[in-house]
Structure 1
Amino acid sequence: MRGVTPHQQARSEATFQALIAAGRKALEDKTFDQMAIGDIARAAGLSVGAFYGRFENKEAFFLAIQDIAVSEIEESLRRRLSDAALRAASDAEFLAAVAGFSIGVFRKHRGFYFASSKHSSMPPDRWSPVRRLGFNVSGLVAAELMPRLARLGRPATEREIRIGMQFMNGLLVNAVLNDPGPLRLDSRDLERYLVRHLCCFFGIDHE
């Protein structure tokens, strides 16, 4: 990772993991600008010097948090999509699983998404980890959904599936950043409406 000193021994790895855990905890109710290195180090039971022994600066630390969270989310989705029960599920049930997974991720990581959306150290011509996550997630879903739609006689391109996912993700991001309502991230009927959107978008009976 850029700006991260490679660990040479188990103690160094433990320091890295403790700082990352403290940073992720802090992001539950703080933005990037509100995070203080001293507070992070103290929460991890470490010194500020230990922080700088692993990370070049706060930007590198934040990027490491993003990279780790993104990798975990992608791996979780891969496991979900490879589940035998989901593979055997109906098309509407498959889309319900996609919607439920997405809602769960945004609810669990709302602070992470908020901080990542409000702050990016990436230049415009480079993808941030969160932007890369959105692209990869929609690609994984497209790979599973395209053959399903083809069997229904409603073939869709990867781009069309990505667009359907983009509408859903846009609503979730807006709920995290602005919470305008009437649907909010914690609304009990959020999943029902997102499943309806996906089914209608892809022409799948959801009743």
Structure 2
Amino acid sequence: MSELMSQGTLAALDGQQGFNPPRYGRAGRTTEALLEAGRQLLRERTLDSLTNQEICAAAHVTTGAFYGRFKSKQAFFRALQAVTAEDTDRSMTACLAALVQGNADLQAAVHALLSELRRVTLRNLGVLRATILEANGNAWQGFKQRRAAFIERAVPVLAARHQDGDAEWLYRRIRIAFQFAIGSIINAVLNDPGPLRLSSREFDMELTRAFCAYVAAP
């Protein structure tokens, strides 16, 4: 079972509309297997092309087990989005907390944050792509709000590692640098234009270089 599905999956679904919480351990494992199957299938497939039967086959469970947990495919996708949001929040919060406790310089701190962001994006690639492309969906707005809140927590942590410049000017520069970096990651999710790939650590290095160069520019 993947790292994503092994930590806090059911907690992330607490109160989720269209989801029937499992009462027993086996039912919980079935839920996790279904979510993991959907997450993997969406890496190569669109949400519209994916059937509940295919999800069940990939998870090695019956369609009855699917409908015992999820009211519909849409409810299943909403559950995947909730788990993805929780995974992203948990990973990025832990990374930022480690930086607060450490003594990394600006470049190392930026690299740590952008590396973790790339990894969590890659881990949830299909779900995020489907969320961005979802017609009449509003889940992406929630992801954007979470991202904006995280950036506001990260800005002073990074600014403390850059000694020059007016604080207001520096905070704005860091926010803009995040906008550039996250835009590049989203472009890779949707278009994979290359030459940098989400699967490559070189992406981290070049994003960090661009981020720090912009912050330091006169």
Using the size of structure 1 for normalisation, the TM-score is 0.82
Which of 28, 44, 61 lines up with 1:29 in the alignment? Answer: 44
Match for residue 117 of structure 1? Answer: 132
Deviation at 1:18, TM superposition (A): 1.8
**Alpha-carbon distance in structure 2 between the residues aligned to 1:165 and 1:70:** 19
Match for residue 203 of structure 2? Answer: 190
Which of 176, 188, 198 lines up with 1:163 in the alignment? Answer: 176
Residues 1:62 and 2:62 aligned together? no
Residues 1:179 and 2:192 aligned together? yes
Q: Percentage identity across aligned positions?
A: 31
Match for residue 65 of structure 2? Answer: 50
Using the size of structure 2 for normalisation, the TM-score is 0.78
Deviation at 1:70, TM superposition (A): 1.6
Deviation at 1:115, TM superposition (A): 1.9
Amino acid corresponding to residue 54 of structure 2 in structure 1: D
CA gap 1:133/1:85 in 2 versus in 1, 3 angstroms: closer
8 Å CA contact 1:184, 1:190 repeated in 2: yes
Match for residue 6 of structure 1? Answer: 21
CA gap 1:26/1:182 in 2 versus in 1, 3 angstroms: closer
- Where does structure 1 lack aligned partners over 5 or more consecutive residues? none
In the TM superposition, what are the counterparts of 1:129-168 in structure 2 within 5 Å? 129-149=142-162, 151-156=163-168, 161-168=174-181
Output the aligned Cα RMSD.
2.8
8 Å CA contact 1:154, 1:203 repeated in 2: no
Deviation at 1:57, TM superposition (A): 1.1
Deviation at 1:145, TM superposition (A): 2.2
Residues 1:199 and 2:212 aligned together? yes
**Alpha-carbon distance in structure 1 between the residues aligned to 2:164 and 2:196:** 31
**Alpha-carbon distance in structure 1 between the residues aligned to 2:131 and 2:105:** 35
How many residue pairs are counted as aligned between the two chains? 202
Amino acid corresponding to residue 92 of structure 2 in structure 1: L
8 Å CA contact 1:146, 1:158 repeated in 2: yes
Deviation at 1:41, TM superposition (A): 1.3
Amino acid corresponding to residue 158 of structure 2 in structure 1: L
Which of 55, 73, 76 lines up with 2:88 in the alignment? Answer: 73
**Residue aligned with 1:139, SS:** helix
- Where does structure 2 lack aligned partners over 5 or more consecutive residues? 1-15
CA gap 1:12/1:121 in 2 versus in 1, 3 angstroms: farther
